[in-house]
Every structure is written in structure tokens, then in C-alpha cells.
Amino acid sequence: MANSANYSELVENGFPTNNLIELVENLEQRGFISEEFRSDTASALEKIAERNQGLPKSILSRLENWLLTHPKPELNDYRSKEEETSHQLQSSIVFNTTTSHTLPSGRGSIVRAIAAGYLEQNPPDLQNWARVIKSRLEIEPHPAVWVDILTQMPPLLNGDRTQATQLFDAVIRNCPEVLRYRWALYFLSRTVGWFEPKETVQGWLEMLWADGSNFCRQVYGELLFIHYFQYQDEWSVAKIDHYLANQNDEAVLCGLAHVASHLWIQKRCRTKAAEILYNLAPSNIEVIQSIVASVFFQSREHFELDSGMRLLIQAVCKNKQLLLKAASDIIEIIENNSFVDTEPQLVSEICQSLLSQLGKKLDNPTRSLVFAAESLTTLAIQLHRQNKYREIGLKIFEQLLSLNLRETRSALEVLDRKPNRLSFYQAPRRRRRRRQIPSGNN
């Protein structure tokens, strides 16, 4: 009877909560005190708490007693899988949609049951949940268990924010290793802005920076921009400006660029995001180029052509490798927003930059440029239809012809059968395939 499969079956079948709790108490009295029994029981009680607005005081007291004596997981089982010496900077850490966390059993299961037991009550019992957390300071040794605790702490910010912030700080300083877990960082990144005072968050950032690893330096950069986004303070502005001026810490710059690309659509921070990306656009570091280019993919559904984006596009057009990475998304944005009608000057500049910078690459395109020749042909013809840009459109079309591109030759064959050539050409309609961001590289 006392195993996780049976418990789960009882819970799923709607076994009365009081009866199940009574069963747990009877089994313990009969000598069921194994680690497996307690871990499986805690997992079942967590599900019950979620369905029944918490747990009664008697069972919560029992769980807290188990927490004091349960030996698993042992600290010697700890191995940081989050921060590797070979950590790659290509993907965001706090915005990575594939982020996951292996839930620790034993004390981890018990902690999760206690958290649900207090937080699922109506109203949540924040005071007792905070009491349990405080009781584990200087006692709980395992970082993964503290990650579980930390991810259940944001509801405390609905109460006294200053006290909750102090408790967050106590947990992080008691177990700094939590800052190396992506799962913990995911939750922290989404609660920045609620902490009071904000200087506490700055202290955590300094801890990350002092660590020195690429992982922690990148997290520092990502959280630094989120700190700016939430607090709009001089401290974060000065820090960001320092790294942009020196550009001597690749990991921090990657962190800043990742979040700037993700949050550019937020008007609250768009000016600073554009500044970061514009300053990094001339970089010859491939990973930074890829991150800067990603802003066009990230913002393609909510694209706005403001002054900052104009400057960024112009900067991208001057960096051949960066332009190659961004070209497909930039062309898609131009087409989807009909910029050839509203922004013909910018479109002509982009088309000419693509031709001058990429040239022969259009004849044997990479996967990212597979539709570029067709799109450029269409844009050249559309520019030619406008009196002011007739010559520019013709020049672009002729440049495309000189590259002997199949798409342009096909267009010319159609135009040869029309009396006024370019003016009457209708581009074939096609459905652009949505490019997916590779897993872990968003």
C-alpha cells in the first residue's frame, strides 16, 4: 500500500483527503518510517494540497518533523550540472524556454509538500511558510533543496515586501550555489522589481559578477538589464554604460544583448535596448553578432520602426557577418510591414547593402538566405514603380541579373512578355515558412 504508485492512484481517484491523511498516520504508527515511504507520502500530500486548499495543521506538523530527520538527499550527491566550464554563451539563461530542474526527492519532496500545504490555503499562510524557511537556514545543506525552496518563495512578496526581500537575501547568502541553477534564476528574474529595497538585488548581482565564471557573468548581464527594466535607476544605467564603453567582458555583453533582444518590444526599455544592440552591432565576435541579429526574429510580430531601430538596421548593414545572420528576418519584416511603400529609402539602402555585402552568397544561398533572391527581386520591382526610386529599383534589378540569379531571370522572362516590363510584374505569392529557434538557442 505504501508506495508512490498506490498513493497517486488514490489521489487521482478522488480518495477522501481526511481518509488518506488518516491512512498516512496509521501507517506511520505501524512502523512505516522508511525514506521511500516519507518521500512518496509527501509527493501525494503535495497533490492533495493543490486540490484541497492546503493541508491541515496536524499533517503539516508531521511533515515538518520529517524534515528534521530525513537524511536524503545527501550533500555528497550534489554535483552542479548547471554551470559547466564549457558553458556556451549563445542562448539566454533566464529566457531559455527549455529550462528545467530535476526535483530532488527526500527532503525536496517534503519541502514541496509543506510549501503547497501553506501556500494553497485561502488565504495563503505566508507567515508559517516563512517560518519554515527560516528554520532551515544554517541547517539545510543541499543546494537543490534550496532551489526548490527559493522557487516557492515569490508569493511571500505579496505580503511585507521588505521582510520577504530580507528572507530572499538570507537564503541566497546562506546558499550562494542557488545562483548557479537556471531554474532558480528563472524565478528570480521574474520577481526583480518586487524586491525592496532594490539595493538587495544589486548585492546579488555583485555576487554573480565576483564569481568570475562565464555562466555567472552572463547571468549578471541578463539580470542587470532586467534590473534596469524594472527600476529605471542610475545605478544600472551607469553599469550598463561602463560595459558598453569598455566592451572587455564578453559574457556580460552577451547577457546584456540577450535580454535587450528579448525585451526590445517593451517600450519601457526600448531606448536602452536599442543602444545596447547598436553599440554591439560592429562586434566581430560571432556569438554577439548572432544575439544582436536575434532581435529581428524576437520582435518580428510586434515590429516598430523607431529611431533606435533605424540606427540599429544601419549598423547591421555595415557588418557583413551580422547582416548575413539577420538578412532573412529583416527581409521578412520589410515584406510583412509593406515598408517598400512607406519607407522606400530605408528599403533601398537595405537592398543595396545586401547586394554589396553578400553578393555571390545569394547565388548559392545558405538556409537563412534561401528566399533572399526572390524577395530582393520583388523589392527591386516595387521600388521601380515609384517615380522617385525608379532608377534605384532598376539598378538593384540589374545587379541581381548580373549575379545570374534564377529568381531574377524568371522575373525577366515574365517581364519580356509585358509592354512596360517592370511596372507590370506581379511577384509570385508564396508562404514564408516560419523559422524556429533551435532548442536552447533562443
- Could you read off the pLDDT of 22-45 as tens digits, one per residue? 777 777 766 566 678 888 889 889
Inter-residue long-range contacts of 347-353, CB under 8 Å, 24+ positions, other chains counted: 347/379, 347/383, 348/383, 348/389, 348/392, 348/393, 348/396, 349/314, 349/317, 350/313, 350/317, 351/376, 351/379, 351/380, 351/383, 351/396, 352/392, 352/396, 353/317, 353/318, 353/323
117/18 Cα distance (integer angstroms): 14
250/240 Cα distance (integer angstroms): 13
pLDDT in the model for residue 383: 95
pLDDT in the model for residue 15: 63
Question: % helix / strand / coil in the chain, to the nearest 5?
Answer: 70, 0, 30
pLDDT in the model for residue 413: 67
241/275 Cα distance (integer angstroms): 10
C-alpha cell at 210: 565576483
Contact criterion met (CB below 8 Å) for 250 and 89: yes
Contact criterion met (CB below 8 Å) for 254 and 222: no
The candidate with the shortest Cα–Cα distance to 184, out of 145, 214, 217, is 145
Cα dihedral 259, 264, 265, 269 sign? positive
* Conformation bin of residue 359: beta by default, left when phi > 0, alpha when psi is -120 to 50: left
pLDDT in the model for residue 419: 46
What parts of the chain have a pLDDT lower than 70? 1-17, 29-34, 77-86, 99-100, 363-368, 370, 413-442
List all residues 6 or more positions away from 352 whose beta carbon is below 8 Å from its beta carbon.
Answer: 392, 396
Identity of the amino acid at 251: A
Distance of alpha carbon 129 from its chain centroid, rounded? 29
pLDDT in the model for residue 146: 96
pTM score over 0.85: yes
**Per-domain residue ranges for the chain?**
1-72+99-155, 327-442
pLDDT in the model for residue 389: 96
pLDDT in the model for residue 416: 53
Cα dihedral 182, 187, 193, 195 sign? negative
Q: Give the burial class of 275: count Cβ atoms within 10 A of its Cβ; 0-12 exposed, 13-18 middle, 19 or more buried.
A: middle
pLDDT in the model for residue 379: 94
The candidate with the shortest Cα–Cα distance to 151, out of 98, 117, 190, 193, is 190
Question: E-assigned strands of 243-298?
Answer: none
The candidate with the shortest Cα–Cα distance to 50, out of 115, 4, 110, is 115
Helices (H) and strands (E) counted in the chain, each on its own, are 22, 0
The candidate with the shortest Cα–Cα distance to 407, out of 389, 381, 433, is 381
